């Protein structure tokens, strides 16, 4: 049976270096001659993504649960693209995914289980890497921008939820893939090396079907 492409997710706090590291990871794939595609969530190019964009820029207001469901819908609308890429052996690298969905909305006080529910059944990454950085260190990297969540206290809460998610995935067997925390306070090149060391064993393809996130958490 031919292998499918690996599904890699990079998560992190704002200013943790996600965009840099996902771009460097894509370059590694390309240099190795392995087909790969970089996706970014939220994908602001779709109709749903444009609503998210104006919410993040505070040009529109939305109920916390309504925006949560839009973020989730924005992932669901890309599922067939992800599945098709993986099926033809292309690696998919995602800059943020469902874990951001839980982390940011639960940090506003919405229940963790409620936040997780709309993303149950999404394709499960084979490997999720969390770029961990303290909000203080993140702030020194040019400071937070103008967007809604880029505030120190919010980022602290978001980090706590991310660590909870990571523990649950680590402790929950292989169904939701593997989760690794990476110290993103280190030099860019060091982080890149650590990321590639974890990704390389999967880079040339993965055996077995794509799994689904948290299917044990909801009975339909
Ligand atoms: P980025 O384009 O990666 O800077 O992300 C934009 C902001 O949106 C960032 O502060 C994190 C937040 N975010 C990303 N995904 C989600 C999500 O699914 N739900 C919520 N509530 N926020 C998210």
pLDDT tens string 201-220: 999 999 999 999 998 887 65
Q: Is the pLDDT reported for residue 179 higher than 60?
A: yes
pLDDT tens string 57-83: 999 899 999 999 999 999 999 999 999
| Distance from residue 208's CA to the centre of ligand 1 (Å) | 31
Percent of the chain at pLDDT > 70 equals 96
What's the chain's average pLDDT?
94
In this structure, what are the phi and psi dihedrals at residue 11, rounded to the nearest 5 degrees? -115, 165
Q: Is the pLDDT reported for residue 30 higher than 60?
A: yes
Mean pLDDT of 185-197: 97
Nearest-CA neighbor of 149 among 24, 56, 16, 53? 56
Mean pLDDT of 134-152: 84
Specify the CATH number of the domain 7-213.
3.40.50.300
Which pLDDT score, from 0 to 100, does residue 150 have?
A: 85
Domain boundaries, the chain: 7-213
What is the C-alpha separation between 116 and 36, in angstroms, rounded? Answer: 28
| Distance from residue 147's CA to the centre of ligand 1 (Å) | 10
Ligand 1 binding site (Cβ under 6 Å of any ligand atom): 14, 41-42, 56, 68, 71, 96, 100-101, 104-105, 147, 149
Peptide bond into 12 cis (omega under 30): no
Confidence of residue 102 (pLDDT cuts 50, 70, 90): very high
Which pLDDT score, from 0 to 100, does residue 175 have?
A: 67
What is the C-alpha separation between 161 and 159, in angstroms, rounded? Answer: 5
The strand pair at 36-40 and 7-12 is best described as unpaired
Which pLDDT score, from 0 to 100, does residue 190 have?
A: 98
Tell me the pTM.
0.95
């Amino acid at each position: 049976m031919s292998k499918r492409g690996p599904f890699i997710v990079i998560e992190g706090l704002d200013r943790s270096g996600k965009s840099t590291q996902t771009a460097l990871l894509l370059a590694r794939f390309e240099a190795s001659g392995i087909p790969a595609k970089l996706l970014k969530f939220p994908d602001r190019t779709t109709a749903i993504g444009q609503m998210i964009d104006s919410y993040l820029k505070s040009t529109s207001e939305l109920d916390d649960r309504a925006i949560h469901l839009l973020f989730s819908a924005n992932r669901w609308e890309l599922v067939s693209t992800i599945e098709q890429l993986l099926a033809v052996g292309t690696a998919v690298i995602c800059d943020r995914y469902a874990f951001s969905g839980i982390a940011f909305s639960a940090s506003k006080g919405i229940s963790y289980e409620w936040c997780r529910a709309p993303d149950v059944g999404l394709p499960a990454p084979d490997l999720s890497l969390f770029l961990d950085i303290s909000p203080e260190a993140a702030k020194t990297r040019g400071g937070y921008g103008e967007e809604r969540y880029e505030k120190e206290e919010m980022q602290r809460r978001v980090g706590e939820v991310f660590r909870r998610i990571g523990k649950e995935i680590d402790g929950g067997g292989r169904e939701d893939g593997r989760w690794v925390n990476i110290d993103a306070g280190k030099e860019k090149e060091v982080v890149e090396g650590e990321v590639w060391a974890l990704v390389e064993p999967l880079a040339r393809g993965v055996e077995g079907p794509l799994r689904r996130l948290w299917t044990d958490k909801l009975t339909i």
